[in-house]
Structure 1
Amino acid sequence: MNRTHLPGIAAMAAIVVASNILVQFLFGQWLTWGAFTYPFAFLVTDVMNRVYGAGPARKVVIAGFVVGVICSLIGTQITGEFGPLVTLRIAIGSGLAFLVAQMSDILVFDRFRAGAWWRAPLISTLVGSSLDTAIFFTVAFSGALTFIDPANDVSWAGEMLPLLGAGPVAPLWVSLAVADWMVKLGLALLALIPFRVAVVKLTARPA
């Protein structure tokens, strides 16, 4: 890791910290404000991967993971209306989802690196985002995994409701996951613009 990678580390750290703060604030019925900041972690990873390669991208991900763990540790010490802001399940789900999703993003990006400039970032982000959502919400809220933290009552997340208020009946946490996933997919498309701009600026040639 050299000083040219520091902006990527700083950007990743800022996104992780901001997302950990904004996840405490609701946006509508199914989302938090953190849902709109966290997906840009994939943008940082993809720009690092394209410009500097998979190795430096992985180091930036590890830095983001460490920052996320620190945020989780701090969150466990802050008590909200319903208990600690960060429970053991949320901490495990968040860390596992981040690490698996970001590392998968890097692998998929490499697989499509030689194609059209937009293929690698788009496909890798779609795969990574899907893994991130599936892992986090399942680990944090699924009733099947209550053994992870039996003292943590997440029965509220299992309430059976119409999916996103209008679809088939499903646990509440599934609606939260689907809404989060849809935001990630939309931002994956929008992020292609800053990805292209950042890569061209950093390399002074087309990505």
Structure 2
Amino acid sequence: MTRTHLPGIIAMAAIVVASNILVQFLFGQWLTWGAFTYPLAFFVTDIMNRVYGASAARRVVMVGFVVGLACSLVGTQIMGEFGPLVTLRVAIGSAVAFLAAQMIDVSIFAALRGGTWWRAPLVSTLIGSSIDTALFFTIAFSTSLSFLHPATNVSWASEPLPLLGAGPVVPLWVSLAVADWAVKLSIALVALIPFRIVTARLMRSA
């Protein structure tokens, strides 16, 4: 880890902390404000990968993982109206999803880095984001995984409702996952422009 990696480390840590705070605040019926900051973690990972390589990107991911664990630990100790702000299942889901998705993102990016400039960040982020969403919401809220922590009450997340208020009837957590996934994909597309600008400037100054 060198001093040149410090901006990436700070950015990743800030995104993880901000997302853990903002996830407590609702945005509409299906999202939280954290849904709009968390996808930026993929943006930082991909910039580090493009400019400094996969090894540096993995180090930054590990920093984000450790910071995320610390945030979850703090959250489990803060009591809200309905119990701890962060339940054990949410903590497990968050940690597993972040580490798996980010590491897969790094590997896919590295495999595609020699192609057209937009292919590696777009494909790696789309796949990583999809894995992240699937792992987190399934681990945190699916009744099939209630054995992870039987004391955690996730019955509210299994309430049958129309998908996003208009589709087929599914558990509530599926609508939450679909909305979260849609935001991630949208940000992945929009982020291609600043990705191109930032990486070009960093590579010129490197």
Q: Residue in 1 aligned with 2:173?
A: 173
Shift of 1:192: 0.4
Aligned positions of 1:14-29 closer than 5 A = 14-29=14-29
Distance 1:69 1:194 in 2: 29
Q: Residue in 1 aligned with 2:96?
A: 96
| Per-residue CA distance 1:160-201 (angstroms, 9 max, x = gap) | 000000000000000000000000000000010111111011
Secondary structure of 1:170 counterpart:
strand
Secondary structure of 2:170 counterpart:
strand
- TM-score under structure 2 normalisation? 0.99
Q: Does 1:109 align with 2:96?
A: no
Shift of 1:204: 1.5
Shift of 1:110: 1.0
Distance 2:9 2:175 in 1: 32
Q: Residue in 2 aligned with 1:54?
A: 54
Shift of 1:26: 0.1
Shift of 1:155: 0.3
**What amino acid is the match of 2:109?**
F
Aligned positions of 1:61-140 closer than 5 A = 61-140=61-140
**What amino acid is the match of 1:14?**
A
Q: Does 1:143 align with 2:143?
A: yes
Distance 1:54 1:110 in 2: 6
- TM-score under structure 1 normalisation? 0.98
Runs of 4+, deviation exceeding 2 Å: none
Secondary structure of 2:86 counterpart:
coil
**What amino acid is the match of 1:182?**
A
Secondary structure of 1:18 counterpart:
helix
Shift of 1:100: 0.2
The count of residues paired between Structure 1 and Structure 2 equals 205
Gaps of 5+ in 1: none
Shift of 1:203: 0.6
Q: Residue in 1 aligned with 2:158?
A: 158
**Seq. identity, %:** 74
Shift of 1:111: 1.4
**What amino acid is the match of 1:45?**
T
Secondary structure of 2:161 counterpart:
strand
